[in-house]
Chain A
């Protein structure tokens, strides 16, 4: 972000809206590239030309690399790159000092124009796919892709509609109304398993991506609103899956969870962090990949709570706690801090932490591990404990994403974007720093050889990708009290 600062500073008042800023940015680069040399000796004039062209080119390359596939959504950006390439090819014959940049620019253009052609064909996604698609390697979700959405009605029937990933609430409602052949005015809402209704606004973008784990999209008339009840399948499982995963090694489980997290994390575009922070409505861009990654955090956390609360036998419950602590330890070893924290936060959920009979029976060795892990979550002094741990790690790292987002949100909410009609670059630099941390985490590719797979890998892989959970805290607390009633 801050790489652009010298250019944007020149014309701050045009930067308020996103689509314009890209043109301002390109315009400035073109000006810099073609800047006429001031009077002077031939040598001086050449040097000046080479310098300004190099500057423009280096920034262009960095800018293109940061945008990556998003460039394909901006025809102006691709056209600009091609034009710049034309000028560079000509100039580099005279100004040999520019020669080394030719292949770099060529590579970027080739990649994007080929991909842009290939992705003209839309990809069709299932709503945060259930079942088999989850086993395929993840590709980033793009704005131009189509998604299939299941929208429920008050009688619990559903209709599946196909809309663009970036579709607004209004567009989704129109598609549903068309499908149901109704002229009645419909409202779109998110209904959680606990029955909480969240009305989705007509202007909301990409409404599906923030659907909670067991939440569903509903459409109904205003009159039906008060009668809406969650679909029975939103309640989640009635039996735990311990008998399945107790047979799997903790290391294998942690490994496959890490592989999955890494896939999800890799799909998150840096810009999604910005859209998330500044509000994706104003960009009209999806944050689906980021939302999926955040959703996974919640899912892992709820998996821990659900399994414990559905385990009726005290001794088995102790086994479960031990298992989760072991999985968490392996996650940390694999530098997967996202799942590591998810597990520990699951264990510290009141529905689990209050089970004193279970915790009492936990061997002291495990209690010590847990205490150490929990201390890493200590939020005091702005999560100092966690931050120290991370700085000691070498990439690849899967970061604890919710904290990074919190940092960005705090920066955003605590600082004005414009001061005296000028962009507040101090704020932009702080935000850029957080993004740089994300960049750093994945600056090295994930090494799949860190674990020697057992023969049941496929089974483990399938299991960790579809945890069935209860996401209703009240239901979980009730189950917990049934396991170990309040002591009187």
Chain B
């Protein structure tokens, strides 16, 4: 069994319905579904390589509802890296990330050493409310990384996770284990993953 201590814990936050679960499921299982089932809290595991050995990437998919503030605090304190998701079709969803970012800041103290990725999901949608440059501006202000994704079309999903791992300077992590495929990656993505190993 994978050891707790060996886990690299990534937590996904964001308003309800922005596609947190869809991103995680696309990444872990390679699937996508159109139906919307609100999440309470689910975890997933994936084996990755870390400093030339293997470790487990543990992803916590959280709830977008505000019913459980205590859970949020606990996930932040346990998390190593964070994905903050909004939907490009909703300005409101970007607004809702602000208190979450503030909470990460409050609990973690210095956020600059902590990998955080701001993600504008549903990039396949045409009814855009948040421009790419607005997302970038927010990321600059927060001193975190930024990416637009689509869980539906599988755009930038694996990249999102690999980039996030790359942001951690204390460890050298890769989604690939000894060049073998991990998860459901296309060949192109696999190559990209390899390139990013420093």
Contact = CB atoms under 8 A, between A and B. Distances in A.
Nearest to A178: B37
Contacts of A132: 70
B74 to A, nearest CB: 7
A131 interface: yes
Interface stretch (A44-52, A156-164, A321-329): A156-164
Contacts of A159: 42-43
Interface in B1-58: 1-4, 29, 31, 33, 37, 39-45, 58
Contacts, number: 40
Contact of A131 (B33, B39, B58, B74): B74
Contacts of B39: 160
Nearest to B5: A232
A41 to B, nearest CB: 68
A133 B67 CA distance: 12
Contacts of A133: 70
Interface in A135-159: 148, 150, 155-159
Given A131-B74, A132-B70, A232-B4, A160 B45 contact: no
Contacts of A179: 37, 42
B42 A232 contact: no
**Best-buried of A124, A157, A181, A233 by chain B (most CB within 10 Å):** A157
A131 B70 contact: yes
Contacts of A229: 1
Contacts of B43: 157-159
A157 B42 contact: yes
A160 B41 contact: yes
Contacts of B70: 131-133
Nearest to B4: A232
Contacts of A150: 41
B48 to A, nearest CB: 14
B45 A155 contact: yes
Contacts of B68: 126
Contacts of A233: 4
A181 B31 contact: yes
Interface in A110-148: 124, 126, 131-133, 148
A416 B131 CA distance: 75
Contacts of A131: 70, 74
A156 B2 CA distance: 9
B59 to A, nearest CB: 9
Contacts of B2: 155-156
A157 B31 contact: no
Contacts of B3: 232
Interface in A155-180: 155-162, 178-179
B39 to A, nearest CB: 7
A181 B44 CA distance: 14
A124 B67 contact: yes
A156 to B, nearest CB: 7
A160 B58 CA distance: 16
Given A131-B70, A232-B3, A162 B42 contact: no
Contacts of A178: 37
A342 to B, nearest CB: 27
Contacts of B40: 148, 160-162
Given A158-B43, A160-B42, 4 more contacts: A124-B67, A158-B41, A160-B40, A181-B33
17 contacts: A124-B67, A132-B70, A148-B40, A150-B41, A155-B2, A156-B1, A157-B42, A158-B43, A159-B42, A160-B40, A160-B41, A178-B37, A181-B29, A229-B1, A232-B1, A232-B4, A233-B4
